Structure 1
Amino acid sequence: MKSVTTKLKLFRPALTSRCSYSSTDQTLLLNEFTRFCYQRDLPRALKSMDSLQSHGLWADSATYSELIKCCLDHRAVHEGNLVCRHLYFNGNQPMLFLVNVLINMYVKFNLLDKAHNLFDKMPQRNVISWTTLISAYSKHKHHQKALKLLVLMLRESVRPNVYTYSSVLRSCNGMSDVRMIQCGIVKEGLESDVFVRSALIDVFAKLGEPEDALSVFDEMVTGDAIVWNSIIGGFAQNNKGDDALKLFKRMKRAGFTAEQATLTSVLRACTGLALLELGMQAHVHIVKYDRDLILNNALVDMYCKCGSLEDARRVFRQMKERDVISWSTMVSGLAQNGYSHEALKLFEAMKASGTKPNYVTVVGVLFACSHAGLLEDGWYYFREMKKLYGIEPGREHYGCMIDLLGKAGKLEDAVKLLNEMDCEPDAVTWRTLLGACRVQGNMVLAEYVAKKVLELDPEDAGSYTVLSNIYANSQRWDSVEEIRTRMRYRGMKKEPGCSWIEVNKKIHAFIIGDESHPMKAEVDKKLNQLIHGLIGIGYVPETDFVLQDLEGEQMEDSLRHHSEKLALAFGLMTLPSEKVIRIRKNLRICGDCHVFFKLASKLERRSVVIRDPIRYHHFEDGKCSCGDYW
């Protein structure tokens, strides 16, 4: 290793002195300063720097670079400012390399204004100067400043490099920006760079254009896992789980090893599709990353949202480290699966662990209260969330409380709370109150609330449907027909009930009235046998849930073919007796199907889990985890 003195000879600039000072003494001062800088002795280095300044001396750029690194390591902002002032003292102009180091220091201290001021004073700037500042603005979401700097950079004929483009792409808020930058990338011949391709894929995914992302991906053979991670993640975040999983299979066939980022996206895809079997296969790959907090959090979320609470609890218990996301995911998962009291106990354990709840945690807690009818607990947590945890109530918190009050029959209190919201109620909040009106059968308020929803979202077919259902429950068939006429006039259709079940890694879908399933005849036969058996133990179709103007046997026949019943019959035919039957559906489960599934779980001695858009129902031995409160 070269000595400090040798380094000094290599880097020392011409020295100037404002007073009589021998060259030997100057060398001793510079050697001392250099030694302290390389030893990362910040206090003594700064004291030595003062001596240099008092004698009009400056060391070499490499030594100052070490001193600035030391300031960064100690988060010493004041000391960093002293170094900067020293370098510009008495009209001195640091070398370009050193100014870039100073700009980077201010960027890492999050002092972007100081960084930009230094940048503006530079007599000349290179690609590193521009890229450092562009990257900083992009990272801090000052997107317009980042894009403006790129334009100025090009006007000064400084050619962007791969790091410039991969940074500025994060600042694109529209396709026009992306297309402009993409043209520059192609012009510079950088389209094959791993980081540039990955950034392009990421920005297309962020803007909701996964097909454009796939075009970039498919333009050339991909030989780097980073690009695979980007494309798989892009499809997963755009709720295109099937495509994400197909790409993951392509990646495995191409010989790439799944990394943490890839597996997180795969778990996200499995979560969105409620594909437990595939999620469990992904878990096998994750075992070697057992200490990865992000992956463990994604695993807990996947198991919760696939309705496998035992697996979620097991992963949570075995986690070596937990953060607020870990706790919040488990609290929300328990609440959504009908284990509200356990969710509240876990919340207390979270507080005892010293982890501070966040916005999402309290949403999970209030959801638990809402879906267990815990009115007093809900009011307590809602009223105290700001005081105890410093969290301002948001729309989701108000929504949970309005749902809780509505289900408890306190519609006046729900309306009062809605009117007291700190933020303007959106369509989702009004829809929550509309759902409460449906539960309580309050037509007068429902008509008013539906009008509010449709003012905010005129194309919301769901609100028309809920209002139609409320009229149907009250036998007001003329009003039902009026609603349906308005829907037809607007070109709206009631979303048909659809249920999905996973068997042998394949998804089977069932829709009422659909004859396309290859085993439809066998499914109908099995369902008829099941209904016959259930009638023998007391099942009576609850025709109040047939929201059409039908009579007698027609009503019962309509109930018979609800999509989740077809999926259940198929599951009983195809899955081993020890396996849990897991069904996902797009509409809220009706009261008749709820009774049907409770009795079926007892008759068939099977565990059945249904996931609807709101929550999960775990049926076992004639009971449901929701306690018949949903």
Structure 2
Amino acid sequence: MMTKEVATVFKDGVGMIISEQLCVSLLSKCKNLKSVKQIHALLFKTGLHNDPLVAGKFLLHCAVSISDALHYAHRVFLHFPTPDVFMYNTLIRGLAESESPHSSLQLFIQMRRKSTFVPDSFSFAFTLKGVANCRDLKSGMQLHGQSLCFGLNTHIFVATTLISMYADCGNLNFAHKVFEETWQPNVVTWNAIVTACFRCGDLEGAEDTFKRMPIRNLTSWNVMLAGYTKAGELELGRRVFSEMPLKDDVSWSTMIVGFAQNGSFDEAFGFFRELQRQGIRPNEVSLTGVLSACAQAGAFEFGKILHGFIQKSGFLQIASVSNALIDTYSKCGNIVMARLVFQSMQMRRSIVSWTSMLAGLAMQGHGEEAIQLFNEMEDSGIRPDGITFISLLYACSHAGLVEQGSAYFSKMQSVYAIEPAMEHYGCMVDLYGRAGKLQKAYDFVRQMPIVPNSIIWRTLLGACSIHGNVELAELVNSRLTEMDPNNSGDHVLLSNIYATAGKWKDVANIRRSMAEQSIKKAPGWSMIEIDKVIYSFVAGEKPDEFTDEVHNKLQEIMWRLRAEVGYVPQVRSVLHDIEEEEKEVSVSKHSEKLAVAFGIAKLAKGKMIRIVKNLRVCSDCHTVMKLISKVYKVEIIVRDRSRFHSFQDGFCSCRDYW
């Protein structure tokens, strides 16, 4: 449609005034860089490319409305003979929200050096936003000083942005000072200082400020909701939600997303159902929020229902919703459905779409397919980013593709000029460590150009646990003790290594040290969805009326495995030197075993069992899942902390490489 309209203008040669109106009208319909270039060609054809009004609107559309046209806007700006303050402000605004927000400050400085230009309130507000996005407190304070020189520090727009900037940079005291010096702050300014309190972790200050507000609008209430839920204070958020005089789609979305992000998946689903009962149409945010809850909880059945609703309501055309669907199906273990959604997107695929699909394949251990998909992405003209390479390296790691992973790590730097972040180094340590190349992994860590953090060392400790390397584990643990002495997972990993090696004295020393420092092991939990309801089981929890039935069913299953396939519990890594019978009882209470027993008891015969677990599945549970799939003729999908395991007919999709 765009091409046809532009062609008509070229053919008819419309007059100057009509062309200006038509250009602005056509510009509002531009959705991508290709159509932007067509409009630019039209401006040259009609001689309007140097018209300040049209050029300004063109620049605004490129810099703000089109996601991939900022670089084009910058080029247009550089070639415009006499850019005005509006044009400077427009480009500063675009750069402030870009991946290089500090560039907005550089452009502001360039504008200031030209004495003919006097910065206005928008100049300062947009530049302050850029400074806030790169957390540059020093430059923010200098801009604050300059705003004083121009008498704009008390301007309500600038003052509000200053409050937000100081909060983003972690200086709540300065934010409060700006607020106190603001003459007649409006409701937007009050909302900004409440938000500042939340961002700096001052929940009491936020509540006190909220109570003192002379006027509150709907945004004020939504700020409180977002602040409490992001801080994990769900009950306080629920209280505010119940007290709200009016709720909009943002309010509902905030509750859905907030509860989902804090692991309260059933409550997130409940808010979504209530939203529908109230007759409110879900929006993009609420849908992606509830899909996120499905993804994290592994709620496949609820996700399928949402998919149907999304398709009927036309939301499937929104890229972010489709991307969330890909993520949901991937994390629920159904890579086939994820693929179908991905393929249906075609021209709407973004870098997020490709990366989500890559991550899904990686979690399933489909390394070769992930590499093939990455090649397709390159061929389609999509440039991979750092997150894409994390998913690709992760896929190589979980499929044992050491040489390919190393090659892509090099390509990331040499071809795409992407500087490796800590996550990329972590993937490489995992790649070598998982493959048993522990010395190479250790040498890689020592040669890193940036100081390795505790996650890097913990990844290496996990590899030592998998391959039983006690000597290197002790060396790695000494580094972790210096960096993060109270992490329970590190103590448990080292205890497992000692227990597997039969070093019970060392196990006892670690357990004593944990007790003395009041370090408690994080409990293992597993979740399973039955009839669209999420049930959770915790390892070693005391039986009650509900779990009694589950424990009895599990005993029946274990007896059958012993009788029919000769199952013998693997108790090498039980943390203390106790009798074999007690060890067997200990491993039998792992949460994934309870979840699968519940699934067998409640689901129809032959129906797939899907389990989500917070920790890495142990070797005994892995063996039990394989045997259950064979004896009970059922497919079991377990998503543990690092990947998916699909158990069928006595085999696992990971090929015992996890």
Please indicate the TM-score interval, normalised by the length of the shorter structure. 0.7 to 0.9
Secondary structure, counterpart of 2:623 in structure 1? helix
The percentage of aligned residue pairs carrying the same residue is 35
Deviates more, 1:417-426 or 1:167-176: 167-176
Quick check: 1:276–1:306 contact (8 Å CA) kept in 2?
yes
Q: Name the structure 2 match of 1:358.
A: 385
Secondary structure, counterpart of 2:499 in structure 1? helix
Q: Deviations over 1:452-511 (max 9, x none)?
A: 112111111111111111111111111111111111111123334332222123333334
Query: Equivalent residues in 2 for 1:522-541 (5 A)?
Result: 522-535=549-562, 536-541=564-569
Q: Name the structure 2 match of 1:291.
A: 317
Q: Which amino acid aligns with 2:328?
A: M
Deviates more, 1:373-382 or 1:209-218: 209-218
Q: Name the structure 2 match of 1:4.
A: none
Q: Name the structure 1 match of 2:637.
A: 609
Quick check: 1:84–1:102 contact (8 Å CA) kept in 2?
no
Tell me whether 1:407 sits opposite 2:431 in the alignment. Answer: no
After TM superposition, give the deviation of residue 294 of structure 1 in Å: 0.7
Tell me whether 1:269 sits opposite 2:293 in the alignment. Answer: yes
- Select 1:229's aligned residue among 231, 239, 253: 253
- Select 2:274's aligned residue among 228, 231, 250: 250
Quick check: 2:445–2:452 contact (8 Å CA) kept in 1?
yes
Tell me whether 1:474 sits opposite 2:501 in the alignment. Answer: yes
Quick check: 1:541–1:556 contact (8 Å CA) kept in 2?
yes
Tell me whether 1:429 sits opposite 2:456 in the alignment. Answer: yes
Q: Name the structure 2 match of 1:58.
A: none
Query: Equivalent residues in 2 for 1:417-566 (5 A)?
Result: 417-535=444-562, 536-566=564-594
CA distance in 2, matches of 1:565, 1:178: 40
- Structure 2 unmatched ranges of 5 or more: 1-15, 25-42, 63-72, 88-116, 132-139
Quick check: 2:394–2:427 contact (8 Å CA) kept in 1?
yes
Quick check: 2:124–2:147 contact (8 Å CA) kept in 1?
no
Quick check: 2:163–2:175 contact (8 Å CA) kept in 1?
no
Q: Name the structure 2 match of 1:348.
A: 375
Q: Deviations over 1:534-580 (max 9, x none)?
A: 34234333343444323444444443333322221221111012421
User: RMSD over aligned Cα, in angstroms?
Assistant: 4.0
- Select 2:305's aligned residue among 276, 281, 304: 281
Q: 1:47 to 1:344 in 2, by over 3 A?
A: closer
Quick check: 2:613–2:641 contact (8 Å CA) kept in 1?
yes
Aligned residues: 567
CA distance in 2, matches of 1:540, 1:182: 57
Deviates more, 1:572-581 or 1:521-530: 521-530
Q: 1:189 to 1:419 in 2, by over 3 A?
A: same
Q: Deviations over 1:210-263 (max 9, x none)?
A: 444444433333242232223333333444434433333333333322111111
Tell me whether 1:595 sits opposite 2:612 in the alignment. Answer: no
Q: 1:142 to 1:490 in 2, by over 3 A?
A: closer
Q: Name the structure 1 match of 2:340.
A: 314
CA distance in 2, matches of 1:404, 1:48: 57
Tell me whether 1:575 sits opposite 2:599 in the alignment. Answer: no
CA distance in 2, matches of 1:67, 1:383: 42
Q: Name the structure 2 match of 1:22.
A: none
**TM-score under structure 1 length normalisation:** 0.78
After TM superposition, give the deviation of residue 435 of structure 1 in Å: 0.9
Query: Equivalent residues in 2 for 1:134-149 (5 A)?
Result: 134-135=160-161, 138=164
Q: Deviations over 1:323-358 (max 9, x none)?
A: 111111111111112222222221121111111111
Quick check: 1:174–1:207 contact (8 Å CA) kept in 2?
no
Q: 1:356 to 1:445 in 2, by over 3 A?
A: same
Quick check: 1:68–1:102 contact (8 Å CA) kept in 2?
no
Tell me whether 1:301 sits opposite 2:330 in the alignment. Answer: no
After TM superposition, give the deviation of residue 417 of structure 1 in Å: 0.6
- Structure 1 unmatched ranges of 5 or more: 1-32, 50-63, 86-98
After TM superposition, give the deviation of residue 206 of structure 1 in Å: 4.3
Q: Which amino acid aligns with 1:589?
A: V
Quick check: 2:256–2:272 contact (8 Å CA) kept in 1?
yes
**TM-score under structure 2 length normalisation:** 0.75
After TM superposition, give the deviation of residue 311 of structure 1 in Å: 2.0
Q: Which amino acid aligns with 1:291?
A: Q
Quick check: 1:605–1:621 contact (8 Å CA) kept in 2?
yes
